Amino acid sequence: MNPNQKAWWHLGFVGMCLLVADQLPQWHKLWFVSETGHYHTSSTITVLLLLSMFLRRRPSLGLMVAWQMVQLFIIGSVLLLSFPDGNYVFGFSLLGFLRLIALGVIFFSAELNRYVRYKPTDTTSAM
């Protein structure tokens, strides 16, 4: 398989994990908050960062890692506060698991890192 195709598959898997993690609170609200509560993550930022990764923008990799670390910090804080009661542990654990899988693929996929960081140069420029 071509390394660029492998990178696209890895990036697609990362995108699927992150978009499912972003939409899960809307699909199963009671896993995250009580009936009157509200928990929402920004799918727009995730979609824009994924799009910039597909377009090979160099800062997008670092921004995606930073955004996921912020999300994991929030999830960890909520888990720490809600763990003694046992409320909402399953939903936030699932979110953390999906985000950790995505971060693992981002960190350990050499093809994905090479794809995002090194954009091919245009060799057919006019002289």
pLDDT, tens only, 50-104? 888 888 887 888 899 999 999 999 889 988 888 778 778 888 899 999 999 999 9
Domain assignment present for 126: no
What residue numbers bound the domain in which 11 lies? 3-117
Domain assignment present for 80: yes
Q: How far apart are CA 8 and CA 15, in angstroms?
A: 10
Domain assignment present for 37: yes
Domain assignment present for 98: yes
Domains held by the chain: number: 1
Question: Residue 84 burial (CB < 10 Å; 0-12/13-18/19+)?
Answer: exposed
pLDDT digits over 34-53, tens only?
777 777 777 888 889 888 88
Domain assignment present for 68: yes
Domain assignment present for 17: yes
